Amino acid sequence: MTVALLAGAFFGLGAYLLFRAIFPPRPGLSARLAAFDAARRRGEADPSRATSAAERVTGLRARVGKSLAAFYEARGWQQRSVRADLALLDRSFETFLATKFLLATAAIVFIPILVAYFAVLGLDVVIAVPVWLGIFFALIFFLLPDMQLRSEAASRRRDFRHAVSAFLDLVSMNLAGGRGVPEALMTAANVGDGWAVRRIRDALSNARITGITPWQALGRLGEDVNVDELRDLSAALALVADDGAKVRQSLSARAASMRSRELSDIEGKAGEQSQSMLVAQLLLCAGFLIFLAYPAVMRVVAS
């Protein structure tokens, strides 16, 4: 009886949350002001973010995502690391929240279907088994988008740092050619057509429209995608922007430091892969020895 009550409570809770997500209550004045301030900050950080997200969703998923985003903003849940990863991957926060919620809700709603399937098969299964299975899969489905997002963002952030190191070398060469800091930054950003270079070029182009300095735009981009190298570059350029020689030396040193760090990371990963291959070879050898020794051991045991 207790298990049946718990199952009904979980199902009712999932249905209630799904109903409130589809038909949310009207937000109060404080929630509207918080959402307006958050939207204004995002617009100031990058005006193209409002329309540059790669995913465009409609229907139920869009309504659920907007409702959950408003719910998070009304309660002050910033999710800065998640937003930075999504900005780096050019995905929307609303779509991410909707995916998490709908996957978990589908797992919880799947409980009655699983119970009915067992009943049709004539299996006398305790109802606690499908209930706990549904809760387990709901938790897994809720956390799976976060794990996938972190993995993809970590790989993309490494590529971004590699592009930043090449960008610094290009800026240093342009400074050595006699250009000023703003012109050198924009000229270096126009070389290449990779996604990271495009993000830097868009940030510098938006700086001219919004009336901020190029290093401030790079700093905001670093905050947006959570890349420390861009934030450090912005701070360094703000300090020595008037001295071209110091800027050139600083950028060359930073580029060399980033390349050295990347080389150390690559060597470390190569060492880890070598160790894993060594362990796999040892296990293979152990299995082969067991395969050779098994007939002799069984013959000795049988005799």
Task: Return the higher-pLDDT residue of 18 and 265.
Answer: 265
Model confidence at 20, pLDDT cuts 50, 70, 90, reads low
Summarize pLDDT for 263-281 with one digit per residue, the tens.
877 788 788 888 888 888 8
- Whether 245 shows a pLDDT value over 70: the answer reads no
- Whether 151 shows a pLDDT value over 60: the answer reads yes
Task: Return the higher-pLDDT residue of 273 and 1.
Answer: 273
Model confidence at 79, pLDDT cuts 50, 70, 90, reads confident
pTM reported for the whole predicted model: 0.62
pLDDT at residue 49, as a whole number: 45
- Mean pLDDT calculated for residue range 21-41: 60
Provide, rounded to the nearest whole percent, the portion of the chain with pLDDT above 70.
78
Model confidence at 285, pLDDT cuts 50, 70, 90, reads very high
- Mean pLDDT calculated for residue range 206-223: 86
- Whether 289 shows a pLDDT value over 60: the answer reads yes
Instruction: With CA atoms as reference, report the closest residue to 167 among 194, 205, 208, 197.
Output: 197
Average pLDDT over all residues of the chain? 77
pLDDT at residue 48, as a whole number: 45
pLDDT at residue 41, as a whole number: 58
Q: CA-CA distances (angstroms) from residue 138 to 10, 117, 150?
A: 11, 19, 19
